[in-house]
């Protein structure tokens, strides 16, 4: 009986160890936009170790910008199905299972975001004919797709509010890239930032009504937080030196920048240029404890904070 109790104890201990919080992100050798293949990596918060999670499936393309639902459905940008499409898979302890296309649409698809109830997905589509990027919403199975924005501008990087009532996104409809919030029900959009800088890479907290995003409004790329209405703006990284000249999202590499909240809403992970490399950093919500969690000559980008 004692042996059985000890076996049960160690089994529960092992299960507890596997349930700790982790960050999934992409890594490609060398500099960004050099044609190297992005792999999906996993960083363990407790052990501070990084391991390979999923080898890039297509040479010089790979996978990036992961989002995982509360019922363990993973969506990722992939070239596996010809052109940039969204792939969906079951996220398991041993990796990905049943990897398949999320939709059957012709346009390129990017940057999916699960609603926090796991029922809907917002994502962006690039239309080669109109040279336009808009945001769409689909059910969790990729069906019943509706077009959410129609601005004839670049609308991108959607992030659901925690109640599922609105979507925060980036748009250049006002002449430069700013953050907007749009109601699912009324269809009304509001400019939240209204600044001449480039505001981008928004994410929302699971636990409070706050948005994190990156901006070069200080002359360097810093991490900011604000409320859903745009009030209570705070620079969490005022001392961070990350100077990147913005030309456009592709050539400047801004497409690879991402922010993501910890499950308890107390920390935020983001990536930015440190020296000549893209690295991941974590900071507390009060601006303390800024920590660089990757340090190498590779490009580490598009982090997503998950709880396994």
Determine the average pLDDT of the residues in 49-60. 94
Q: Which two tokens stand for residue 22?
A: 């982790």
Beta bridge partners of 64: 77
pLDDT tens per residue, range 99-141: 999 999 999 999 999 999 999 999 999 998 888 999 999 999 9
Work out whether strand 291-292 and strand 277-284 pair parallel, antiparallel, or are unpaired. antiparallel
pLDDT digits (tens, 9 = 90+) for 290-299: 999 999 999 9
Quote the CA–CA distance of 212 and 233 in Å, as a whole number. Answer: 10
Stated pTM of the model: 0.92
How far is residue 50's CA from residue 14's CA, in Å, rounded to a whole number? Answer: 19
Average pLDDT over residues 4-9: 36
Nearest Cα to Cα of residue 39 among 23, 58, 67? 58
Residue 290's nearest CA partner among 221, 254, 240 is 240
Torsion angle in degrees (nearest 10) through CA of 50, 201, 306, 38: -40
CATH architecture of 22-307: 6 Propeller (2.120)
């Amino acid at each position: 009986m004692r042996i059985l109790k000890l076996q049960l104890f160690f089994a529960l201990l092992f299960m507890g160890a596997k349930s700790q919080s982790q960050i999934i992100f992409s890594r490609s050798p060398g500099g960004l936009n050099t044609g190297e293949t992005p792999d999906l990596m996993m960083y363990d918060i407790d052990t501070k170790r990084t391991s390979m999670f999923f080898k890039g499936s297509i040479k010089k393309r790979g996978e990036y910008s992961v989002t995982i639902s509360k019922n363990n459905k993973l969506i990722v940008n992939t070239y596996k199905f010809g052109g940039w499409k969204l792939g969906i898979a079951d996220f398991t302890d041993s990796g990905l299972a049943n990897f398949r296309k999320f939709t059957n649409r012709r346009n390129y698809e990017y940057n999916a975001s699960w609603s926090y109830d796991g029922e809907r997905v917002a994502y962006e589509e690039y239309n080669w004919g109109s040279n336009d990027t808009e945001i769409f919403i689909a059910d969790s199975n990729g069906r019943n797709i509706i077009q959410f924005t129609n601005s004839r501008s670049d609308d991108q990087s959607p992030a659901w509010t925690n109640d599922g009532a609105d979507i925060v996104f980036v748009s250049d409809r006002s002449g430069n890239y700013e953050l907007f919030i749009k109601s699912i029900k009324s269809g009304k959009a509001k400019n939240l930032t209204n600044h001449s800088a480039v505001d981008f890479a928004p994410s929302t907290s699971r636990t409070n009504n706050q948005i994190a995003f990156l901006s070069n409004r200080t002359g360097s790329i810093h991490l900011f937080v604000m409320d859903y209405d745009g009030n209570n703006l705070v620079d969490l990284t005022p001392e961070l030196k990350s100077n990147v000249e913005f030309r456009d999202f592709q050539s400047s590499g801004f497409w690879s920048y991402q922010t993501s909240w910890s499950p308890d809403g107390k920390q935020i992970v983001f990536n930015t240029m440190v020296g000549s490399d893209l690295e991941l950093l974590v900071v507390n919500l009060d601006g303390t404890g800024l920590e660089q969690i990757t340090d190498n000559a590779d490009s580490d980008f598009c982090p997503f904070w998950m709880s396994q």
